[in-house]
Amino acid sequence: MKHVAIVTGGTRGIGRAICEELHGAGIAVAANYGGNDAAAAKFQAETGINTYKFDVSDYQACQDGVARIASDLGPVDILVNNAGITRDATIMKMTRADWDAVIDTNLGSCFNMVHAVWDGMRERNFGRIVNVGSINGQGGQYGQVNYAAAKSGIHGFTKALAQEGARYHITVNALAPGYVDTDMVAAVPERVLEKIIQNIPMRRLGTAHDIARGVLFLCGDDADFVTGSTLSINGGQHMY
């Protein structure tokens, strides 16, 4: 049977590349997005992949969105929790709203989306869940206590859920990208970005497809003994 995948935050950046890699492997893909209608329309026209607009930080919206996707494409057996935002500021300047937005969108979304697909995966005795963490969840980052906490939370979430999923052949893995050439990284001040690139042994930013190929591996039928792991793809910037 053809696999069905949902990629959150799937119409731009790393999410878009993940959708393209999964689609290219013959998987039926649904690309979720949160707000940018123009980017979603462009993505759909260029890739032929259906888009679904809902807020992943909203529990009920995830239940409804996943039900809509299952009715269009069939039962969902692959979930890629990729949606993420930044609200960078040093701790004294960071507001409670900046904290909540990043925790709810980046980490709360993983809970919401997993709750919407878990029962079905258990019943069918198969599932692939990939959570996109970050090098900054592994090592922290100046100006990102909210983002680092959320991404670090994703790494713990992954390891705990992997233990629950194993008996149902649901694998749960994290992928930790380094700095990738996307709109999110383009928002980093240029002089700061220069310093960051100097600390990457490969001396370049990653591409979205560098990351997406790792996700494709973790979603594959052949990866059924890989669970609870963190695949770091960062040009050597962080090695432990």
Q: What residues line the site for ligand CAA (CB under 6 A)? A: 86, 88-90, 134-136, 141-144, 147, 177, 179, 184-185, 188-189, 191-192, 195-196
d(CA 86, CA 92): 16
C-alpha count within 13 angstroms, C-beta hemisphere, residue 184: 22
Q: How far is the CB of 80 from ligand CAA (least distance, A)?
A: 15
d(CA 69, CA 31): 10
Q: Pick the closer one to ligand CAA by CB: 189 or 201.
A: 189
Q: Which listed residue (147, 168, 179, 240) is catalytic?
A: 147
d(CA 223, CA 15): 20
Q: How far is the CB of 233 from ligand CAA (least distance, A)?
A: 11
Q: How far is the CB of 33 from ligand CAA (least distance, A)?
A: 18
Is 147 a known active-site residue? yes
Contact 78, 27 (CB under 8 A): yes
Q: Pick the closer one to ligand CAA by CB: 68 or 142.
A: 142
Q: How far is the CB of 161 from ligand CAA (least distance, A)?
A: 21
Q: Name the residue whose CB lies closest to ligand CAA.
A: 143
Containing 228, the helix (H) or strand (E) segment is none
User: Cα–Cα distances in Å, from 6 out to 9, 75, 131, 167, 178?
Assistant: 10, 10, 12, 22, 23
DSSP string covering 68-119:
HHHHHH----EEEE---------TTT--HHHHHHHIIIIIIHHHHHHHHHHH
Cα–chain-centroid distance for residue 87? 17
Q: How far is the CB of 219 from ligand CAA (least distance, A)?
A: 20
Q: Please provide the distance, in angstroms rounded to a whole number, between the alpha carbons at the two ends of the chain.
A: 38
d(CA 20, CA 235): 22
Active site residues: 147
